[in-house]
């Protein structure tokens, strides 16, 4: 456990399989800029690798379990506290314990049903 910024910490990245050849779409962000999102189609599998890079190798990092979540969510702007999750899939990658070195975990969500397309509008965001 790290108190006052002392102790172990980690950088976590997610690398999707076939990311370099997957189509992307530019979507308007809340701040008016643009974000780039990968395109996935209904029934398509989503897979990749979660990479955990320890900033201080050899020093342990305690964790309460490592998991990756696939979430589909509808958010209404005038009611930000009330979100509707229409997809919520979880893959447990590691049980609670300690990490002593940087590591990677594979994940795959098989043939995920995606009933809605991503959308960012004036009153609602669907992602």
Task: Confirm whether 114 is domain-assigned.
Answer: yes
CB 87 within 8 A of CB 70: yes
Residue 25 confidence (pLDDT) above 80 = yes
Task: Confirm whether 4 is domain-assigned.
Answer: no
Please report, for the domain that includes residue 95, its CATH number: 2.60.40.640
Cα dihedral sign for 37, 91, 71, 87?
A: positive
Task: Confirm whether 40 is domain-assigned.
Answer: yes
* Residue-level pLDDT at 1: 46
Domain count, the chain: 1
* Residue-level pLDDT at 6: 62
Strand, helix or coil for residue 79: helix
Higher pLDDT, 122 or 43: 43
Mean pLDDT of 2-11: 67
Task: Confirm whether 26 is domain-assigned.
Answer: yes
Task: Confirm whether 1 is domain-assigned.
Answer: no
Structural domain boundaries, residue 78 = 10-126
């Amino acid at each position: 456990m790290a108190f006052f910024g002392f102790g172990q910490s980690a950088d976590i990245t997610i690398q999707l399989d076939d990311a370099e050849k997957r189509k992307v779409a530019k979507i308007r962000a809340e701040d008016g800029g643009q974000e780039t999102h990968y395109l996935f189609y209904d029934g398509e599998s989503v897979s990749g690798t979660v990479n955990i890079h320890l900033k201080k190798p050899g020093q342990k990092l305690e964790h309460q379990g490592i998991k990756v979540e696939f979430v589909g969510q509808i958010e209404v702007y005038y009611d930000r506290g009330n979100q509707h999750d229409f997809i919520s899939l979880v893959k447990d990658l590691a049980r609670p314990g300690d990490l002593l070195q940087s590591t990677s975990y594979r994940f795959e969500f098989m043939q995920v049903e995606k009933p809605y397309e991503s959308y960012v509008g004036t009153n609602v965001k669907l992602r």
